[in-house]
Amino acid sequence: MSTSADSSRAARDILDARDLTFRYVRRDEEGQVVQATVALDGVSFSIRAGDFIAIIGHNGSGKSTLAKHLNALLLPDQGTLFVDGLDTHDAAKILEIRRTAGMVFQNPDNQIIGQIVEEDVAFGPENLGVPTEKILTRVENALSRVDMLKKRHASPNKLSGGQKQRVSIAGILAMKPKVLILDEPTAMLDPSGRQEVLSAVHALNRDEGITAILITHDMEEAADADRVIVMDRGKIAMTGTPREIFSRSEELATLGLAVPFPTQVADLLGKQGVSLPGTPINRQELVAMILQTASAFK
Amino acid sequence: MAMLKDITLGQYYPADSVIHRLDPRVKVVVTLGFIVSLFVISTIPGYLLAALFLWLWIRLSRVPLRFMLRGMKSVFFLLFMTVVFNLFLTPGETLISWGKLVITKEGVRIASLMAIRLVFLILGSSVMTFTTTPTRLTDALESLMRPLTRLHVPVHEIAMMMSIALRFIPILMEETDKIMKAQMARGADFESGNIIKRAKNLIPLLVPLFISAFRRANDLAMAMEARCYHGSEGRTRMKPLVYARRDRAAYLLLLLYLVLSVVIGRDLLHLSSLFFPGGGV
């Protein structure tokens, strides 16, 4: 969490937001402002290359608006945002910014453009003017990284939700991004589809060092991140490691958020007088702590 | 309705044939050339030539003839009406009269000509749709219409819209199905009443469908922008259309056929005298 303009720091930080403010403005026919909603209100943060960040917050907290700023789909009314050192206000750099910070959306059907999987993955490189002879290698490479190479000639309509989202991720990977922004990519998927998509994203982050920004409603997804940013009414309400965030369950509750299920279990056990040795944020930790506590009882 | 999404658009028939491998632009041009030739030809040897060309076109495509004929079913009524009207309503030398109904010699001639033209036209163009995927067809149209960009026709945009439309037809079909079931569960009735009543009953189907289509369009536009789409400028293709030897050979064959169809079809060599020594058809 830093707003410092220190240049050595800016070089390390792949995303650097300073005091972002954004309003959704509704106008009537004469152009008069009817209603203005503040979606982002002085948001500042910086994210190191290679981190896995989860952004959580209830509906309307501004997390999707923030995501759209990260690849210059929206420009801040005030403040500046640097993506890998590029100012999103710079119209000449907009393609480079979008290439650097690729975005995957919620609805898999509404972001697949091609009628065949490989055609869709090629859409980004084609737009960037990548030479023809290099596009096919990029497409094959991107599809194999999300384990979808064998479906390359399939129609997107014949794929499952999880497969469609993996194709969408491949479409971004084919542009060789440094940051992957995922705006609730699992919200419309079944549990197995969710798992497919998340493990693909985690593998890309872990093995290739691609920075991942996961916007999510699911606290258990957020628990697997390196750092969690909690948004509330356009501001950053909390930030820290998942353990730091989820050990403040009362504070989260006032923001309309729950803690992951394993943490809830630990809280309930605590109320029953069984205190665990720490705050478990995932199932494995919970099981380990319960076993540890149980053996101490004997 | 549940089967709607299984409809294959453009009735593509997957097979491995010379025609399938031809550049889609060649197929479009050949189809157009063939259609034009049908309206140029007016002699029997000319039709024999067209029939030969069509036979070759179909055989090489390796699409079973019964598939082609199945496509004819939908136009059978049109064909039938054309024949009947031409048969009875053409004035001329009486062949058979049946009270007020008169079949003339000219009537028979024109009716059979029209029938042959229509059948050939449909078969000839269905070879193109059977052997070319909609994507390749859009690519071909974009490429063939490119000269129009100089007249400020947004060719790339039109082609992009066509391919997006093709991509979304199955999705919107599925959505229609879902909305229909949802409205039926609320007591909507899409099946009874006269045609006006039924059209009115479609409103609770169309309104949500349109709203959802606009929402999808909005999402898609954003996703395209996020993937650096900025029109045709500086855009490359993964699989650009490139003419091969067989494409050039096909163009040559088409040219040969067109010349022959004018020479024979317009009877420039007076070949019909061999068939009808009396003179003319």
pLDDT, tens digit (0-9, with 9 covering 90-100), for B212-245: 999 999 999 999 999 999 988 889 999 889 999 9
Interface with chain B: mutation pick from A70, A105, A109, highest number of B CBs within 10 Å: A109
Interface with chain A: mutation pick from B228, B229, B239, B242, highest number of A CBs within 10 Å: B228
Contact: A175, B227; criterion CB under 8 Å:
yes
Interface check for A108 against chain B (CB to CB < 8 A): the answer is no
- Averaged pLDDT for residues B24-45: 93
**Does the complex come out with an ipTM higher than 0.90?**
no
- Averaged pLDDT for residues A49-68: 93
DSSP B219: H
Examine the pLDDT at A80 and tell me if it is beyond 60. yes
Lowest mean pLDDT among A221-225, B10-14, B37-41, B195-199: B10-14
The whole-number pLDDT of residue B271 equals 63
Task: Please give the structure tokens belonging to residue A82.
Answer: 């640097």
Contact: B238, A118; criterion CB under 8 Å:
yes
The whole-number pLDDT of residue B275 equals 58
Lowest mean pLDDT among A151-155, A277-281, A294-298, B133-137: A294-298
Examine the pLDDT at B72 and tell me if it is beyond 70. yes
pLDDT, tens digit (0-9, with 9 covering 90-100), for B117-163: 999 998 998 899 889 888 888 889 999 999 999 999 999 999 999 88
Min CA distance, A98 vs chain B (Å)? Answer: 6
Interface check for B159 against chain A (CB to CB < 8 A): the answer is no
DSSP B147: G
User: Taking a contact as any Cβ pair under 8 Å apart, which residues of chain A between 2 and 61 contact chain B?
Assistant: none
Taking contacts as CB-CB distances below 8 angstroms, the residues of chain B near A136 are 238
CATH of range A49-79+90-240; options 3.30.450.20, 3.30.420.40, 1.10.150.20, 3.40.50.300: 3.40.50.300
Instruction: Give the residue extent of every domain in chain A.
Output: 49-79+90-240
Contacts of B62 (CB under 8 A, 6+ apart): B15, B16, B17, B19, B20
The whole-number pLDDT of residue A206 equals 94
Contact: B229, A127; criterion CB under 8 Å:
yes
Contact: A111, B171; criterion CB under 8 Å:
no
pLDDT, tens digit (0-9, with 9 covering 90-100), for A184-200: 999 999 999 999 999 99
Interface check for B165 against chain A (CB to CB < 8 A): the answer is no
The whole-number pLDDT of residue B272 equals 59
Interface check for A185 against chain B (CB to CB < 8 A): the answer is no
Percent of chain B with pLDDT over 90: 41
Contact: A127, B163; criterion CB under 8 Å:
no
pLDDT, tens digit (0-9, with 9 covering 90-100), for A104-140: 999 999 999 988 899 999 999 999 999 999 999 999 9
One-letter amino acid of B166: L
Taking contacts as CB-CB distances below 8 angstroms, the residues of chain B near A157 are 5, 170-171
Lowest mean pLDDT among A195-199, A249-253, B86-90, B178-182: B86-90
Interface check for B32 against chain A (CB to CB < 8 A): the answer is no
Q: Which of A114, A126, A175 sits opposite B237 (nearest CB)?
A: A126
Q: pTM value?
A: 0.82
Banded pLDDT at A7 (limits 50, 70, 90): very low
Percent of chain A with pLDDT over 90: 71
Interface check for B147 against chain A (CB to CB < 8 A): the answer is no
The whole-number pLDDT of residue A111 equals 94
User: Taking a contact as any Cβ pair under 8 Å apart, which residues of chain B between 119 and 138 contact chain A?
Assistant: 133-135
Q: Which of A68, A116, A129 sits opposite B234 (nearest CB)?
A: A129
Lowest mean pLDDT among A3-17, A194-208, B102-116, B240-254: A3-17
The three-class DSSP label of residue B96 is strand
The whole-number pLDDT of residue A219 equals 92
Banded pLDDT at B2 (limits 50, 70, 90): very low
Examine the pLDDT at A12 and tell me if it is beyond 70. no
- Averaged pLDDT for residues B61-85: 85
Higher pLDDT pick, B269 / A100: A100
Residue of B nearest to A73 (CA): B226
Examine the pLDDT at A4 and tell me if it is beyond 80. no
Mean pLDDT of chain B: 86
- Averaged pLDDT for residues A174-179: 95
Higher pLDDT pick, B169 / A100: A100
Q: Which of A68, A114, A126 sits opposite B235 (nearest CB)?
A: A126
pLDDT, tens digit (0-9, with 9 covering 90-100), for A44-58: 999 999 999 999 998
